[in-house]
Structure formats: structure tokens, C-alpha cells
Amino acid sequence: MQSNEIKFTTTIKAPPEKIMEALMQEEHIQKWWTNEAKVIDGKGVFGFSDHGDTEARFDMERHDNKVVWKCTKSSMAGTNAWEGTTVTFVLTPEANSTRLDFLQSGY
């Protein structure tokens, strides 16, 4: 079975702790991804009603230098293609910024 991946790296002018908050707390996720974000006890539910009945559910884990979201249910773009995928955000402190390495894998 072939596995496709989405990867990118970016630099953010913020400390890793602030980025961790932005990746784990619904009030921050609502600002950078979807305003239909709910996070309860490490479980994220993200809706996208402007694209029809579209939702993704994730188990969210915080580690020392990374955040991992594991997709447990999805109706993204009318398919379950995201189910079973893993989104990993690795944070590396740099001078006055943080490098964020993004990887979504398991398609």
C-alpha cells in the first residue's frame, strides 16, 4: 500500500509554548483553521459547514517538542480520506522564532 504525505516547513515569530497553545486549544484553532473547532479532553472536532456537512475528529497528543493529531473520523470533501491519517507538528526553537515542520501522513 502506498502512503502519500503532505509536508512543509515554516518559521513563526513566536516561542514554541505559544505555538503549542495554538495547536491544542480551541480558541486558538478557531483563529487559524476553522471557527467551528471544539477541543475537549484531548479530542478535537473540527467542522467546515461552509463546505457542506464536513467534519474531522482527532485524538490530540502533546509531547515535549511536537503535537500529534490522529484522525479518527472524517467527512472532509465528502470522503473519509483523512481517517487513519496522522498530522504531526514538530517545533524547533530558533533565535526569536520557532521552526514548524508539518507532516500529514497515512493516506
Residue with cell 479530542: 43
pLDDT digits (tens, 9 = 90+) for 51-102: 666 678 899 999 999 999 999 988 877 788 888 999 999 999 999 999 999 9
The domain covering 5-105 belongs, at the CATH homologous superfamily level, to: START domain (3.30.530.20)
Nearest to 46 by CA among 18, 23, 21: 23
Helix (H, G, I), strand (E, B) or coil at 4: coil
Q: Is 88 helix (H, G, I), strand (E, B) or coil?
A: strand
Domain range annotation of the chain:
5-105
pLDDT of res. 105? 95
